[in-house]
């Protein structure tokens, strides 16, 4: 199994981006991504070009659409069929997500606490989700400078509230990439044996995703019998050995080593930091975990701002 950087949120001239589809795929390849998801606003008209461009660039294409409504934006990945975004009222979102799932698609909330109208139309999530278990993923980091933005703090807070409630919901990062620029972005990594559309979608659904704005922090659990559990998996409560790996050679074309530096790894269990560790390249630590969830965060500096969360894993769930 290997960690692959993928971009799950992009736009082109088929909606309000400046990229042509070919330019987008090429730019993603140049940055070091292995897969790119085309999620134009309310349209899938760019998908035929996506498949052609991805084949040329040896990239994995992920078809998507970003529901761009008055009550929030929602990323819908690989829906086989179509659920109409138009006219869905705030209280009707659960039925819409159920329809997307019937069509084998995944639904994720984009930038839930972004600046709203009139600055960005419909960006703040106002849909009234009753069944949070049905939401496949939550974009906790969005656009540039993600680790340091208030919308990220609030999205992480919502995510932890849902995890504490027992929901298995995957945190993702989305570049929401519209055009070439020189901003500082975070990255989404998926765990897969071989990278295919199916393995990316499986990782999103299963929570086998890590987010990093610089060095990549990954985690796995080791049971007492020596078998391994990946993030997103569930393990019995009790003593668990955790293996942590830190890779600062990842995505070298998209962040500066001198500007994103690791200071400390934190293990977060049910919302509380239970362990603080040096940011070593590889280490194992034993924890006594109760029912709930366990995640690893990397704390460090991000382009001049100290003590930011610069990487995080999705959780291992504990029963």
Partner 1 sequence: MRLLEEVYQWTPQDSQTDASFCFYVSEGMKQIRIRFEFSPGTETDPRLCFPPIEKAMNRYYDSYPRALQPMEKESFLPVKNLITISLDKDGVYLGNAHRWATEQEHLISAEQASLGFLPPEKMAGEWHGMLHLHEILSETCTGHLIVEGE
From the CB of 202, what's the least distance to partner 1, in Å? 27
Shorter beta-carbon distance to partner 1: residue 20 or 283: 20
CA distance 29 to 50: 13
Among 26, 29, 101, 124, binds partner 1 (CB under 8 A): 124
Shorter beta-carbon distance to partner 1: residue 68 or 173: 68
Which of the residues 100 through 119 are near partner 1 (CB under 8 A)? 113-119
- Determine the interface stretch with partner 1 among 39-47, 200-208, 233-241, 311-319 (rule: CB under 8 A): 39-47
Q: Which residues contact 119 (CB under 8 A, 6 or more apart)?
A: none
Q: Residue 179 interacts with partner 1 (CB under 8 A)?
A: no
Among 121, 228, 259, 291, binds partner 1 (CB under 8 A): 121
- Determine the interface stretch with partner 1 among 12-20, 31-39, 170-178, 276-284 (rule: CB under 8 A): 12-20
- Determine the interface stretch with partner 1 among 143-151, 198-206, 265-273, 283-291 (rule: CB under 8 A): 143-151
Q: Contacts with partner 1: how many residues (CB under 8 A)?
A: 33
From the CB of 149, what's the least distance to partner 1, in Å? 6
CA distance 55 to 49: 10
Question: CA triplet 63, 229, 301: central angle to 5 degrees?
Answer: 70
Which of the residues 282 through 311 are near partner 1 (CB under 8 A)? none
Q: Residue 16 interacts with partner 1 (CB under 8 A)?
A: yes
CA distance 44 to 132: 26
CA distance 141 to 187: 9
- Determine the interface stretch with partner 1 among 149-157, 182-190, 240-248, 295-303 (rule: CB under 8 A): 149-157
- Determine the interface stretch with partner 1 among 25-33, 146-154, 186-194, 206-214 (rule: CB under 8 A): 146-154
Token output for 146: 């993600």
Shorter beta-carbon distance to partner 1: residue 177 or 293: 177
For the CA atoms of 121, 125, 130, 136, the dihedral, rounded to the nearest 10 degrees, stands at 110
Which of the residues 41 through 80 are near partner 1 (CB under 8 A)? 41-46, 68, 70
Binding site for partner 1 (CB under 8 A): 13-16, 40-46, 68, 70, 82, 84, 86-87, 113-119, 121-122, 124, 148-151, 153-154
């Amino acid at each position: 199994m290997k960690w692959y950087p993928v971009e799950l949120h992009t736009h082109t001239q088929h909606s309000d981006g400046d990229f042509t589809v070919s330019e987008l795929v090429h730019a993603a390849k140049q940055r070091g991504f292995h897969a790119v998801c085309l999620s134009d606003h309310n349209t899938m008209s760019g998908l035929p070009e996506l498949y052609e461009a991805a084949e040329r660039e040896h990239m994995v294409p992920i078809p998507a659409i970003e529901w761009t409504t008055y009550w929030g934006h929602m990323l819908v990945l690989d829906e086989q069929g179509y659920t109409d975004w138009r006219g869905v009222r705030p209280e009707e979102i659960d039925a819409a997500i159920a329809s997307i799932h019937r069509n084998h698609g995944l639904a994720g909330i984009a930038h839930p606490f972004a600046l709203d109208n009139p600055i960005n139309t419909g960006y703040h999530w106002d849909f009234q989700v009753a069944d949070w278990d049905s939401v496949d993923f939550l974009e906790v980091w969005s656009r540039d400078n993600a680790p340091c933005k208030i919308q990220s703090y609030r999205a992480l807070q919502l995510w932890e509230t849902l995890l504490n409630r027992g929901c298995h919901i995957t945190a993702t990062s989305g570049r929401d990439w519209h055009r070439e620029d020189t901003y500082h972005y975070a990255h989404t990594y998926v765990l897969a044996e071989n990278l295919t559309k199916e393995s990316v979608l499986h990782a999103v659904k299963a929570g086998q995703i890590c987010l990093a704005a610089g060095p990549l922090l990954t985690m796995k659990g080791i049971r007492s019998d020596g078998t391994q559990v990946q993030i997103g998996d569930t393990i019995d409560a009790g003593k668990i050995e955790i293996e942590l790996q830190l890779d600062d050679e990842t995505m070298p074309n998209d962040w500066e080593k001198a500007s994103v530096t690791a200071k400390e790894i934190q293990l977060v269990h049910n919302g509380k930091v239970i362990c603080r560790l040096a940011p070593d390249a590889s280490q194992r630590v034993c924890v006594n975990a109760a029912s709930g969830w366990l995640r690893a965060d990397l704390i460090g500096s991000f382009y001049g701002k100290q003590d930011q969360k610069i990487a995080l894993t999705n959780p291992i769930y504990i029963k």
